[in-house]
Amino acid sequence: MFAHNGVIILLTLLVALMASIMPLPLSVDAFRPDWVLIVLIYWCMALPARVNIITAWIMGFLLDVLLGSVLGVYAAAMAISVYIVAENFQKIRNFSIWQQALIAGVLAALYHLVVFWLQRFLIDVTFLPSYLYPVITTIVLWPWVFYLLRKVRRHFSIK
C-alpha cells in the first residue's frame, strides 16, 4: 500500500472523508456530493491493483462511524458501487470524460438507493427526492475531480 507513493492515495481518501462530514448550511447540505465515492471510483479505475473493493468497504465503514448510521450500511453500498468499477475499469477508462461523469452519476444513484433500501429495511424511512440530489452534483464534479486526481497521480507517479 505504501510503495510508490501510496500514501498519497490514503491522503486523498482522508480529505474526501473530511469533506463529506464538513458542516455546511442546511440549504446546500442536500446537494453535498459523494466525495468518498468519487475519489474511490477514480482510484479504482486508474489503479485497480491498489484500490479495490476491500478499500472501498473500509472507507464505507469509516463513513458509517462518522455519520452514526448502523454499522455496515454505507460500507455495503460503497463496496457494491466500487465492485462495478472494478469489474469494468478497462471499459470505463476508454470513455470520454462526460460519459464517465454519467457513469459516476449512475453509480452514485445506485449507492444512494442501496443505502436507502438498507435503511428502509432497518428503520421506517420514507423516500424523498432530495435523497438523490447528490447525484447531480456528483456528475458536475466528476470532470474536475478526474483532472485533479490525474494530475496528482502523474505528479507523484503513483503506480
Buried b (16+ CB within 10 A) or exposed e, 37-61: bbbbbbbbbbbbebbbbebbbebbb
Residues near 138 by Cβ (< 8 Å), separated by ≥ 6? 33, 34, 37, 38, 104, 105, 108
Q: Any contact of residue 110 with other proteins (CB under 8 A)?
A: no
Footprint on residues 12-31 left by other proteins (CB under 8 A): 14, 17-24, 26, 29-30
Selected from 83, 106, 110, 156, the binder of other proteins by CB under 8 A is 83
Q: Any contact of residue 68 with other proteins (CB under 8 A)?
A: yes
Selected from 1, 10, 11, 67, the binder of other proteins by CB under 8 A is 67
Q: Minimum CB separation from other proteins for residue 129, in Å?
A: 11
Q: Where are the alpha helices (DSSP H) in the chain?
A: 6-19, 26-29, 35-46, 53-67, 73-93, 97-122, 133-155
Residue recorded with cell 452514526:
68
C-alpha 74/C-alpha 60 separation (Å) is 5
Footprint on residues 44-63 left by other proteins (CB under 8 A): 48-49, 52-54, 57, 61-62
The residues binding other proteins (CB under 8 A) are 4, 14, 17-24, 26, 29-30, 32, 48-49, 52-54, 57, 61-62, 65-73, 75-76, 79-80, 83, 86-87, 115-116, 118-119, 122-126, 128, 130-131, 159
